[in-house]
Chain A
Amino acid sequence: MSEPISSTSKFTVTPKTSVSVLFAGDSGDGMQLTGTQFANTVAVYGADLNTFPNFPSEIRAPAGTIAGVSGFQLQFGSKPVYTPGAKFDVMVAMNAAALKANLKDLHRGGIIIACTDGFDEKNLKLSGYQEGANPLEDGTLSNYIVFPVPVLQLTREALKESGLSNKEIDRCKNMFILGLLYWLYSLPIETTVDMLHAKFGKNATIAEANIRAIKGGYFFGDETEIFANLGRFDISPTKQHGTYRRVTGNEACAIGLTAAANKAGLELFLGSYPITPATEILQTLAKMKKWGVKTFQAEDEIAGVLTSIGAAYGGALAATNTSGPGLALKTEALGLAVMLELPLVVINVQRGGPSTGLPTKPEQSDLMMAMYGRHGEAPMPIVAAYSPVDCFYTTYEASRIAIEHMTPVMCLTDGYLALSSEPWEVESVGNLRDINPRFSPERKADDPPFLPYKRDERHVRPWAIPGTKGLEHRIGGLEKQHETGHVSTDPDNHELMTRLRAEKIEKIVDSIPLQTLDNGPEKGDLLILGWGSSYGAIKTAVEQALAKGLSVAHAHLRYLNPFPKNLGELMGNYKTVLIPENNYGQLVHLIRDKYLFAPVSFTKVKGLPFNEMEILEKITDLIKEH
């Protein structure tokens, strides 16, 4: 173990409430690892944070080009932070392409730490700068504070006696940068040092070299004079005493499903097919064998959902995860699940569409598909997660609804939530709502015949699983006769069953909470009604608007079908309702259709989440109009 390091006090340390940092470099520069380490350090230090990786859809785009730039953005603060930051305050640019690709999102006056080795003639040419032009030297960055650092040279210097090959030494340059950033923000290096020891336990040389590179960066900050005018910063810890973990949205979904199965006393079965950006749910659950989780990587999206339907018939908590194109392939099977009235959780990690669209970019454009994307009258409840941690609670709730109401449930997240992360104070078991599967008990020969479609007061049919004596029954996709479940083409029966299936979904409203306000006055000029990953941006914007004295409130929907009972009444308390969505206007249709008034639609379809500045600007414009 290394001893904690301390630095001299020749630099002033300025407290800050929050900072947004971007680590950007070539996909081969290890920016995801660097960003993740920085995030872990910040988390353990006790600041709040929110992270978002941004990488190319190609595994190995050509090195040095704009297409090959990989970024990891995070915001951390001594107050709660809900987004990775609309723009960043600090950019680490490992090469010219990273600078060029991201400069537009750096605050004017922001800090650029540029790795000068990545700005040689070749890199400048590959990133499309004109011959002879070098942004680090030609004054084009005069609106920013630029620190050119010869990272590669300094790393080589620091590691010359490490015993590593030149190639191995060069690979440590991201740790040098990490050390420098730790120094700049007065953060401890121990979290990363411990990780390196754990990771390279058997290979002490590599671990020591990486640690030396971190220290090299840290002491460089202290020893060089280039930061003399800037000084250092400090963000004081904000988190209360407690046990925390950092999760991405996809991880939280996997944990949510496993927790729900465990709480309900069921086996978890996930039938799935790899698809960006939903795959990590399958990957995470494949590692959950200790909890008895069964994952089935199917031959296609169709088999992914159908294996789950088979497992649901057998009495498992069955789920499938996918993204838009995969959901399209699953739609016929979802109609079957509606007809069979079996529990099934469908996690759709939305991405830019249509077709292959923008596979690595988030969008909220599958709401209509979730609501109406099946043939026939095939209603399905819909829930949507609003933050990485909320992916746990929403998936858990989707599982509860599926099991207790015997229905497939659509659980919407998106590519932004899926890959973003934030700290989560470890949830205690006692806080999780009970989930009660109601299996039909076995019957004796002289009992009356079993009726698989006999419904209870909530219109829920029994879960009768194979292996139970006396419940042998046949179900299928053909229309079912009321109560008996026999095949029926009777016109009146079809109309009755259509109504019962619709009412069953409507009745879920009795088991979900009323809609609450997230922030703002109970009556006023403007209500922002959000859903999904726009939560952080809306939350931050509304806080700022309220601080300016504007009459604005924020409500965020988890339940999109059915809507909470009081939603209409709640919306009626405001002169205007604004619905921001990362689509071409979908929730606004559902709200207009159900409540017969005209909310203001605010859409963004760029493959990027909303940022707080855009929302704040819209709020200001709308309130000005009053």
Chain B
Amino acid sequence: MTDIDTSMASRPVLTAKDFASDQEPKWCPGCGDHAVLQQLKNAMPDLGIPPEQIVFISGIGCSSRLPYYMATYGVHGIHGRALPIASGLKTSRPELSVWVATGDGDALSIGGNHFIHTLRRNIDLNVILFNNEIYGLTKGQYSPTTKVGLKTVTSPSGVIDHPFNTATLTLGAGGTFFARAMDRDGKFLRTILSRAAGHKGTSLVEIYQNCPIFNNSAFQAFAGQENKDESTVYVEHGMPLVFGKFRQKGIRLDGSTPTVVDLFKGDVSEEDLWIHDEKDTFKANLLARFFDDPLTVENFLPRPFGVFYAEDRLTYEDALAAQIAAAQENGVGTLEELLKGDNSYIIK
């Protein structure tokens, strides 16, 4: 195996441009994927990892073309299977920084089994899930995150499948990191990507990503200037859950029931509010349940963005490496020992 020079000291300072490959992105104009790609390239130099140590792995779908546009190592795999490819690579080569680009169909439908099992194993991967609530590459069929009722080419009378909530699915599967961000919210997205990279374990970042062709404005309720302040809450560790254009609203926990309260009435102050704690698995699970559709639910809870949960748990590859180290405590096995085995006998 090649000796790896991980020091950045001897290198020129890298910029976003150094992470752009020579291939032109082939996404539609206006696709949210362009914005995510840009933020990934922006976030990369901050990591201090040389490009040859970074690998992007993807499955199939629009967002899975991403590895071709990064000047790192990359594998464009098969539908739904980015996570096992990445898991094998990371388990074998824990020193690499391994990223996965996947979509709602790729990760949650055809790759659903790999999704839950990767999360529970807690392999140190950074998973960027582009959720556009539609199959884009195959031209507009509904996905496992499409809202009930949406008419698509495969649901001409409206979708009747109940959609997945990526946050509850991630936490339910034993994931150690979940964050949500939005394609058009560039600066925030970049912060979240850096947080994901810094988390040791499987980091799941769900990005609400607009598909202007087949599901335009799917996230308008959370992205549109007219209502986003009232329909979203940005969570930050140690800070109360406050939202609204004038930061006039808050979330209070009444027992285990979250309630929207008016901070301007005077009877409730920020001290009474739910203080976000990334380490609190119970609160993270409650937060993940904030999944109301502001367009159809009265008294809805705002949709949370930011890091919901970040748990420090031993990773799969470190646990395996420790077992191997323990087995090799009294020396690494030789080929002679292997061939002889421990049950050989001598015939005289």
Chain A contacts to B: CB under 8 angstroms:
43-44, 46, 237, 239-247, 255, 258-259, 262-263, 265-267, 269, 271, 288-292, 294, 296, 298-300, 302-303, 306-316, 318, 332-333, 335-336, 340, 426-429, 432, 439, 441-442, 465-478, 486-487
Contact = CB atoms under 8 A, between A and B. Distances in A.
Given A306-B85, A468-B2, 14 more contacts: A244-B344, A262-B338, A265-B1, A290-B327, A294-B91, A298-B117, A303-B83, A309-B88, A310-B57, A311-B92, A426-B341, A439-B2, A472-B52, A474-B67
Contacts of A267: 92
B77 A477 contact: yes
A314 B89 contact: yes
B339 interface: yes
Contact of A245 (B60, B95, B340, B348): B340
A467 B76 contact: no
Nearest to B72: A472
Contact of B78 (A332, A467, A487): A332
A308 B85 CA distance: 7
Contact of A478 (B1, B76, B117, B333): B76
B345 A244 contact: yes
B67 A467 contact: no
A306 B88 contact: yes
A245 B344 contact: yes
Given A243-B345, A244-B344, A316-B92, A310 B332 contact: no
Contact of B341 (A245, A269, A469): A245
Interface of B: 1-2, 4-5, 21, 23, 50-57, 60, 67-68, 70-78, 81, 83-93, 95-96, 113-114, 116-117, 320, 323-324, 326-328, 331-333, 335-341, 343-348
18 contacts: A241-B348, A242-B346, A245-B341, A245-B345, A255-B338, A290-B328, A303-B83, A303-B84, A306-B88, A309-B77, A310-B86, A310-B90, A311-B88, A426-B344, A472-B51, A476-B74, A476-B77, A477-B77
B177 to A, nearest CB: 20
B338 A291 contact: yes
Contact of B328 (A292, A303, A441): A292
Contact of A259 (B87, B323, B338, B344): B338
A373 to B, nearest CB: 16
Contact of B88 (A265, A310, A468): A310
B2 A429 contact: no
B344 to A, nearest CB: 4
A284 to B, nearest CB: 10
Residue from A239, A296, A311, A467 whose CB has the most chain B CB atoms within 10 Å: A467
Residue from B78, B85, B344, B348 whose CB has the most chain A CB atoms within 10 Å: B85
Contacts of A308: 88
Contacts of B67: 474, 476
Majority secondary structure, B binding face: mixed
7 tightest Cβ-Cβ pairs between the two chains A and B = A476-B76, A310-B88, A307-B88, A289-B327, A306-B84, A310-B89, A474-B74
A243 B340 contact: yes
A289 B338 CA distance: 11
A132 to B, nearest CB: 48
A314 B98 CA distance: 11
Contacts of A262: 335, 338
Contacts of B333: 288, 290-292
A374 B71 CA distance: 32
A281 to B, nearest CB: 15
Nearest to A300: B113
Nearest to A336: B78
B139 to A, nearest CB: 18
Contact of A467 (B52, B77, B84, B324): B52
A271 B348 CA distance: 41
B339 A296 contact: no
Contacts of A471: 52, 73
Given A307-B87, A465-B2, A466-B52, A333 B340 contact: no
Contacts of B113: 299-300, 303
B76 A303 contact: no
Contacts of B114: 299, 302-303
A262 B335 CA distance: 7
Contact of B71 (A314, A472, A478): A472
A466 B55 CA distance: 7
Contacts of B343: 245-246
B87 A310 contact: yes
Contacts of A469: 5, 50, 52
B146 to A, nearest CB: 25
B5 to A, nearest CB: 7
A90 B71 CA distance: 70
Contacts of A237: 347
A467 B96 contact: yes
Residue from A441, A465, A486 whose CB has the most chain B CB atoms within 10 Å: A465
Contacts of A265: 1
Contacts of A288: 333, 338
Contact of B117 (A43, A303, A336, A441): A303
Given A314-B92, A314-B96, A307 B340 contact: no
B92 A310 contact: yes
A339 to B, nearest CB: 9
A429 B334 CA distance: 10
A289 B4 CA distance: 24
A289 B88 contact: no
A255 B345 CA distance: 17
Contact of A333 (B78, B327, B345): B78
Contacts of A263: 335
Contact of A427 (B52, B56, B76, B339): B339
Residue from A307, A335, A468 whose CB has the most chain B CB atoms within 10 Å: A307
Nearest to B331: A290
Contacts of B83: 303
A317 to B, nearest CB: 10
Contacts of A43: 345
A184 to B, nearest CB: 22
B88 A318 contact: yes
B224 to A, nearest CB: 36
B81 A466 contact: no
Nearest to B344: A245
A547 B18 CA distance: 75
B2 A467 contact: yes
Contacts of A240: 347
B4 to A, nearest CB: 5
B23 to A, nearest CB: 7
A241 B117 CA distance: 51
Nearest to A392: B339
A465 B55 CA distance: 10
B89 A313 contact: yes
Contacts of B87: 296, 303, 307, 310
Contacts of B88: 269, 271, 296, 306-312, 314, 318
Residue from B53, B88, B96, B326 whose CB has the most chain A CB atoms within 10 Å: B88
B310 to A, nearest CB: 24
Contact of B81 (A313, A333, A487): A333
Contacts of A309: 77, 85, 88
Contacts of A246: 343
Contacts of A239: 347
A473 B73 CA distance: 5
B91 A307 contact: yes
A583 to B, nearest CB: 29
Contact of B77 (A244, A269, A336): A336
B75 A476 contact: yes
A288 B328 CA distance: 10
Given A309-B85, A340-B75, A289 B323 contact: yes
A313 B73 CA distance: 10
A44 B56 CA distance: 54
Contacts of A46: 347
A245 B83 CA distance: 40
Contact of B2 (A298, A442, A472): A442
